[in-house]
Amino acid sequence: MTKLLWMTIDRHPDSLKALIRNQLSDAGWEVYEISYDSIDSLESVPLESIDGVLLAPARHFPVQYMDRLTSCKLMQIWSSGYDKFNIDDAHARGIAVANNHGSNAISVAEHTILMMLAISRRAPEMHTRVVTGNWAGNDHGMNSYSLSGKTLGLVGLGNIGTLVAERAQALGMRIIFSDPGRPASPNPRWVKEPFDRLVAESDYISFHVHLTPVTTGMLNSQSMRLTAKKPFLINVSRAELIDRAALAEALDLGLVRGIAIDAHYSEPTTSNDPLYQRDNVFCSPHVAGSTIDSYISTIRACLSNLGSAANAKPINGIIPSR
């Protein structure tokens, strides 16, 4: 029987773990479930006979245990992001690494639109006014904005960026994008622009690229000065794509109208973080890719990959060395 090591996180809800267990059971694998929060339990696992590893997002696998994975064909990350994982350590031991290759892209794209609408229409404030009965000071929409007719600048036009573009276009938005990996626009109505020009022309800027040494801090104090239209920023990718000090300064100076954030500089967040005290910052707790539907499609895609690796078949979403 094919053997799988499944690395879990204690704070994940029991309902999510049960869903994944059911998927693993249906696949017929012999599964060893170990929590990152009890990493020493790996001592009792026959790691030398493990065929594949299913990894929770945003975690680093201990090298001392990786040395024992002598039969492992694939370490499969069930998120799209992989910046926290020690890819090169796995590659040095001849183990391939893959991400979920866009299986939760629809969920992330839908959440992006949610964030755009929420920050534009001040959804949290509206809800609070209703449930508290505090309608005093209601400005009747004079601090709210429509998406239709606005320019959306997408930083990255991969699986997620493309799905966001399709949905935003249906809402009447003009689409521009910056992506060195796209030699030309896949849609005649979407215009490719250099990053600096995208920053200058956009009413909304949404980030859909992986965090790398090149993309870290790509929106910084210099590029913030180019925001001629005082855009809303939407970041459901990685917080560090936007330089934190430059963001605070831009919010203070009104260079940006506000920001909606799903991925944060420090997770879990703290209640005393000054960033979250601003009324033009809207947040969600890193759940853009998290729905029941996306979990099912993601785990199925990951198990398909692990099965392919165990049988020497092609693998989707292979991550190259840094």
pLDDT in tens, 72-115: 999 999 888 888 889 999 999 999 999 988 889 999 999 999 99
- Answer with the residue of higher pLDDT: 256 or 104: 256
DSSP letter at 266 equals S
pLDDT (average), residues 170-177? 98
> And the tokens for 59?
């975690």
Angle ∠(93,94,98) on CA atoms, nearest 5: 110
Set out the domains of the chain in order of their start, with CATH numbers. Answer: 3-103+291-310 (3.40.50.720), 105-283 (3.40.50.720)
Any idea which residues carry the catalytic annotation? 238, 267, 286
- Proportion of the chain above pLDDT 90, given as a percent: 77
pLDDT in tens, 288-312: 999 999 999 999 999 999 999 999 9
Ordered DSSP codes for 128-193: HHHHHT--TT--TTTT---STTPEEEEE--SHHHHHHHHHHHHTT-EEEEE-TT-SS-SSTTEEE-
Contact 12, 58 (CB under 8 A): no
pLDDT in tens, 115-129: 999 999 999 888 888
Helices (H), ranges, 143-278: 159-170, 195-201, 221-224, 244-253
User: CB neighbours of 193 closer than 8 A, spacing ≥ 6?
Assistant: 153, 176, 177, 178, 201
